[in-house]
Chains A and B, each alone.
Chain A
Amino acid sequence: MVEESRSKKPFSKTFTRNMVLIVIVVSFVPMLLVSGMILHQYSISYNEKLYAYLKEVVYRHAQNIDTFLNERLYNLQFLLDSCKDEVLLDESVLQERLFQLQQKYEGEFEDLGVINENGVQIAYAGRFSLEKAEYADAKWFQEAFEKPYYISDVFLGLRSKPHFIVAVKTFHQGSYYLLRSTINFEIFNSLAENLRIGKTGFAFILNRDGKFQTKPHYDMLPSNKSYMDFIKAGKKEKHGIYIGEIEGSSGFNQAIYLAALLKNEDWILVYQQEKKEAFSDLIRTQIVAAVILLLGALLIVIMNSLLFHKVINHMTIVDREKEMMNRQIIETGKLASVGRLAAGTAHEINNPVAIMVQEAGWVADLLEEEEFQNGKNLEEIQRALKQIGNQGKRCKEITHKLLSFARTSDTPMQDLQINEIIKEVVAISDKASYTGISINTDLDENIPVIYGSQTEIQQVLLNLMNNALYALEKDGGKIDISTRLTDRYVLVIVEDDGPGIPEANLDRIFDPFFTTKPVGEGNGLGLYICYGILQRMGGSINVHSTVDLGTRFEVRFPLQKPAALKPDDRPA
């Protein structure tokens, strides 16, 4: 009934936070699991695809290079097979053949030379004028003489330029000869260099000792040696391809490696690419996924918080309404029992009061006899008896009012226009012409008629009006009366800006005999009767009051006729 300021909330912050956390976790876990799984599967298959592609590329290149080298050997062999004698002995033929080879293979062959068993170049064709050069001490010569075919590592040689040699051994007129040719390093180098992917993917060739056979680009390991160790340690795949990874270090990014053996496992073709670049598509996908996840998470958190706040607010309101209703039920029950008690008491008091009044009347009767007519206190006694009679009547008035709480109305029930009654009541109050009090009305002309007893409704409004006037009696102020239509009620608000009702009294103002007026001025039954009348009509009366700001009474008259009241609802 009475609204109090409530500090405690029904749902603590911890509860709200826990609920929000639970929902977030519940919605996050599947999202993270699913997206994590998809991403994981995607990276696995991306990895496989990427490595398969790179393996293929490296394998093809290794094959190309092998083919290139073998072709050079075949060229020399073919040269020997077609015109052994002329080539070996006649420099002009050698010159001609070199020219033919250079024509055919776009300068891959730098020169041609024939070397005898003693390491002396007995015939030479080319631009370096190496006639009669001595190769007896050259390492490649010693190695070449042991095999029918030979391809050297890249070395600087007599000309101090990187090059390598292909040589074919042949037997002619009782002694062995080597037909050798210098292969253009730039062309060979380009074979490896052609393998370029992206910005950081490139290839190079190493020999067994880890020496570069081609000009590498950049970002090499500090020591070439470690390449071999590392490659040997790597995983061996199909086609003799090795795959490995090197952790990044300062000035060197994490990189992946693919290596293939060449030239009967003398050389190795290494393809290197920064992992960052090789997997750039995957990384981009991961970043996009992460951003989407993050945005999703943010959205979930925000929506959650909003939703929860809404739900909590709603629950708080429902809870508050429930509590208000509980209070109302308690209040109603209290008033009903107090009402029964009051009515019972009123009945019982009537009998003794009646006897007292009659006894006084009897004394008055006796006083009329002659023997008392000359008594000197006759008048005083008569006055006292009259007073007893008057006070008896006053008692009766009180009990009558008390009982009227329970009594059904004397006037017939009918359709009433509440605005008209308010106007009458205001007119009556205005006649009282209180100084410094203004009465304003704001009446909704569209409210329908209500069904009730005119005197009862008048009584309710007069009571509220009198209370407001009494509150403003001292300092003046204004009274606002308004009517409004709500879904099931006609709402009448009587509001004053008087001193207000202290909270301690708010709970008791509808109790019978509760009054703050001086003794004799009020009997404390006004609001009690109002409450009873509205209770019977199926309406309600509420009070909101703040000390120093004023008091507002809200009276709700039902639009429909109330259902028949149960007898229990009435005080005896």
Chain B
Amino acid sequence: MPESQKSDGKKIKVLLVDDEIHFVEVLFKRLSKRNIDVTKTFSGTEGIQALRQVDFDVAVLDLKMEDMDGLEVLKIFKKMYPMIEVIILTGHESEQTAQEGLQYGAFAYLTKPCDFDQLFDTIIKAASD
């Protein structure tokens, strides 16, 4: 198991935002097993509500959700809590959205299906910055 703690020894707090329920569930299980504090949300609005209560270190954000566009959610996240690092993880790979995402302050742009280790490493990196 790789190191999954922040420099202060606290658990990394990760927010999952994706309307693919099964995907969120399995990621929740795998990340939790690696000692990460994961919160599941299944839409943009749920994600925003969750961020109101907890200051997450990292958010893993899907781009195409039924209620909101992922990029909008990203902008709102960054406004609400500028310290948060957002990793975009989408099945709709597109150069344009990738560029826009990075422009709005996303930490990384990953595409589904994504290697879990890559995702995990990215989360660790994002949290340690």
A residues near B (Cβ < 8 Å) are 347-351, 353-359, 361-362, 365, 389, 392-393, 395-396, 399-400, 403, 407-408, 410
A351 to B91, CA, bound (A): 6
Among candidates A365, A395, A410, residue contacting B113 with C-beta atoms closer than 8 Å: A395
Q: A355-B26, A358-B27 are in contact. Are A396 and B95 (CB under 8 A)?
A: no
Report the minimal beta-carbon distance from B36 to chain A, rounded to whole angstroms: 13
Among candidates B30, B92, B116, residue contacting A350 with C-beta atoms closer than 8 Å: B92
A133 to B125, CA, bound (A): 173
Among candidates B23, B64, B95, residue contacting A354 with C-beta atoms closer than 8 Å: B23
Report the minimal beta-carbon distance from A562 to chain B, rounded to whole angstroms: 18
B112 contacts across to A, CB distance below 8 A: 350-351, 353-354, 396
Decide if B91 touches A358 in the complex (CB within 8 Å). Answer: no
A399 to B92, CA, bound (A): 10
Q: A350-B111, A351-B112, A354-B113 are in contact. Are A362 and B92 (CB under 8 A)?
A: no
A395 contacts across to B, CB distance below 8 A: 113
CB-based A-B contact count at 8 angstroms:
66
**Is B33 in the interface zone, CB < 8 Å from A?**
yes
A441 to B12, CA, bound (A): 60
Among candidates A362, A396, A408, residue contacting B111 with C-beta atoms closer than 8 Å: A396
A551 to B91, CA, bound (A): 38
Q: A358-B26, A358-B27, A408-B95 are in contact. Are A350 and B113 (CB under 8 A)?
A: yes
A408 contacts across to B, CB distance below 8 A: 95-96
B90-104 vs A, CB cutoff 8 Å, 1 = contact: the mask equals 011111100000000
**A406, closest chain B residue (CB):** B94
Report the minimal beta-carbon distance from A401 to chain B, rounded to whole angstroms: 11
Name the interface size band of chain B.
Answer: 20 to 34
A407 contacts across to B, CB distance below 8 A: 94-95
Decide if A348 touches B95 in the complex (CB within 8 Å). Answer: no
Decide if B33 touches A365 in the complex (CB within 8 Å). Answer: yes
Decide if A355 touches B20 in the complex (CB within 8 Å). Answer: yes
A351 contacts across to B, CB distance below 8 A: 20, 23, 91, 112
A393 contacts across to B, CB distance below 8 A: 113, 115
**Is B29 in the interface zone, CB < 8 Å from A?**
yes
Given A361-B30, A403-B93, A407-B95, output 11 extra A-B contacts at Cβ < 8 Å: A347-B92, A354-B91, A354-B114, A357-B113, A358-B23, A358-B30, A359-B26, A361-B116, A365-B29, A365-B33, A396-B113
A556 to B23, CA, bound (A): 45
**Is B22 in the interface zone, CB < 8 Å from A?**
yes
A393 to B113, CA, bound (A): 7
Report the minimal beta-carbon distance from B21 to chain A, rounded to whole angstroms: 9
Decide if B30 touches A362 in the complex (CB within 8 Å). Answer: yes
Report the minimal beta-carbon distance from B19 to chain A, rounded to whole angstroms: 10
Among candidates B20, B30, B95, residue contacting A410 with C-beta atoms closer than 8 Å: B95
**B34, closest chain A residue (CB):** A365
A399 contacts across to B, CB distance below 8 A: 93
A365 to B2, CA, bound (A): 13
Q: A350-B111, A353-B112, A393-B113 are in contact. Are A362 and B94 (CB under 8 A)?
A: no
A350 to B114, CA, bound (A): 9
Decide if A347 touches B91 in the complex (CB within 8 Å). Answer: yes
A358 to B60, CA, bound (A): 15
**A408, closest chain B residue (CB):** B95
Closest A-B pairs by Cβ, 7 of them: A350-B91, A354-B112, A354-B113, A358-B26, A357-B113, A351-B91, A353-B113
A410 to B20, CA, bound (A): 29
A355 to B93, CA, bound (A): 16
Report the minimal beta-carbon distance from A533 to chain B, rounded to whole angstroms: 14
Among candidates A348, A355, A400, residue contacting B22 with C-beta atoms closer than 8 Å: A355
Decide if B93 touches A365 in the complex (CB within 8 Å). Answer: no
**B116, closest chain A residue (CB):** A361
